[in-house]
Amino acid sequence: MRIISPSEARMAKADHIKKLVASFGRSQEFRAATLRIIDDAATQGKQPFADSLRKILDANVRPDYQASGQPSLTALASQIDPATDLVDEITVSRGLNDIVLNSDTRILIDDIIEERHRSEELRRHRLPISTRLLFSGPPGCGKTLCAEVLARELNLPLYSARIDVIISSFLGETASNLRRLFEFVARRPCVLFLDEFDALARTRADAAEHNELRRVVNSLLLMIERFKGPGLVIAATNLPQFLDEALWRRFDDILSFDPPTEREITLLLSRQFANFPAHFDLATPVSKLVGMSYADIERICIDAIKKAVLKKRKSVSETEFAAALRQETRRKGLSSRRNA
């Protein structure tokens, strides 16, 4: 356990008092701020004070779900399953045939699926199975899609953690949110997706950040490290340069999702035009698409098919594909100028 210095404790106390005053008129924020003060008092050994403050709080400020005769939907849902407010369930429909992967990543994915299907054999030999994965790569190259594919292939529901809700402005509630989240994943087999993981990691590295927030992020990392299943935890980042050594070590496997090479572009095009054919050699545009993401290329194909459908054609011509490609290049130019 980390020992807090007296000056850190004083700062934290001052912060809690500021939050308490700032929450005037908003009973749930007031309750959260007071709970934080109670927690602190208890950890500093001031149990009688913590107990009496808790009694006063419970008698005067009820939790959200008891606040009125009509509990709010969120509160009701979190009573039925105490973490549904911390995750979004993502509908899973796509499987292995819907994703194009580079050969290294494909091998890792196949191994993860096989491990799960044959987990009993591995368990008999006391061998662990992968439960924590890190997906790394630029936008639009299949990190979220692959989480969906894994969930589908493993027959598990997919939940995306609502990091913004979990690490809320009521820091006092964050530790208990994290606990609830990991209790939820430990109880029910599922794939838990932690998107934009770099944002969290950066919070940890940034020395100027609030100490307490840094502690919270460290405890999230510890929970990931200790996670043993039954499901899978997948973290995703498109800024791997922000992740330090200590973070990489917490994962069983690291999978990279890079922009497609010519081989993968050819595969993607043939899948995109499987149901609505192209009336030209698909090898022709490949070199012009190098450097784009899967999502960009998919958009070009969909635009080209749309053009053909609107012209009441039965297949996409090279002209329609070229027009869709020009449109995408223009769009990209506009968006990069906006971001410059």
Residue 157 Cβ, how far from ligand ATP at the closest point, in Å? 18
100 binds, among Mg ion, ligand ATP, none (CB under 5 to 8 A by kind): ligand ATP
Residue-wise burial string across 168-195, b where 16 or more C-beta atoms lie within 10 A, e elsewhere: bebbbbbbebbebbbebbeeeebbbbbb
Q: Taking the C-alpha atoms of 217, 219, 221 and 223 in order, what is their torsion angle to the nearest 10 degrees? A: -140
Asked if residue 238 binds ligand ATP (CB under 6 A), the reply is yes
139 binds, among ligand ATP, Mg ion, none (CB under 5 to 8 A by kind): ligand ATP
- Exactly one of 31, 83, 140, 243 binds ligand ATP (CB under 6 A); that residue is 140
- Exactly one of 144, 160, 174, 177 binds ligand ATP (CB under 6 A); that residue is 144
Q: Which stretch binds ligand ATP (CB under 6 A): 96-104, 173-181, 223-231, 321-329?
A: 96-104
- The answer for residues whose C-beta is within 8 angstroms of residue 117's C-beta and 6 or more apart is none
Q: Which string of x and - marks every residue 183-222 that binds ligand ATP (by CB under 6 A)?
A: ----------------------------------------
For residues 165 and 85, is the Cβ–Cβ distance under 8 A? yes
Longest Cα–Cα distance of the chain, Å, equals 80
Question: Edge-to-edge, what's the strand order for the sheet holding 191-194?
Answer: 87-90, 158-161, 191-194, 232-237, 132-136, 253-256
Tell which residue, 219, 159, 223, has the closest CA to residue 195: 159
289 binds, among ligand ATP, Mg ion, none (CB under 5 to 8 A by kind): none
Distance separating alpha carbons of residues 33 and 330, to the nearest angstrom: 50
- Exactly one of 257, 285, 289, 328 binds ligand ATP (CB under 6 A); that residue is 257
Structure tokens at 156: 């598990």
Beta bridge partners of 158: 90, 191
Place of tokens 């109670």: 38
Asked if residue 298 binds ligand ATP (CB under 6 A), the reply is yes
Asked if residue 309 binds ligand ATP (CB under 6 A), the reply is no
Asked if residue 136 binds ligand ATP (CB under 6 A), the reply is no
Q: Which helix (H) or strand (E) holds 194?
A: strand 191-194
Asked if residue 240 binds ligand ATP (CB under 6 A), the reply is no
Chain positions 273 to 292 lying near ligand ATP, rule: CB under 6 A, are none
Give the footprint of Mg ion on this chain (CB under 5 A). 143-144
Asked if residue 41 binds ligand ATP (CB under 6 A), the reply is no
Distance separating alpha carbons of residues 129 and 167, to the nearest angstrom: 29
Place of tokens 């402005």: 169
- Exactly one of 132, 143, 204, 250 binds ligand ATP (CB under 6 A); that residue is 143
The conformation of residue 232, written as its DSSP 8-state character, comes to E
- Exactly one of 294, 304, 305, 328 binds ligand ATP (CB under 6 A); that residue is 294
List contacts with ligand ATP (CB under 6 A): 99-101, 137, 139-145, 238, 257, 268, 294-295, 298
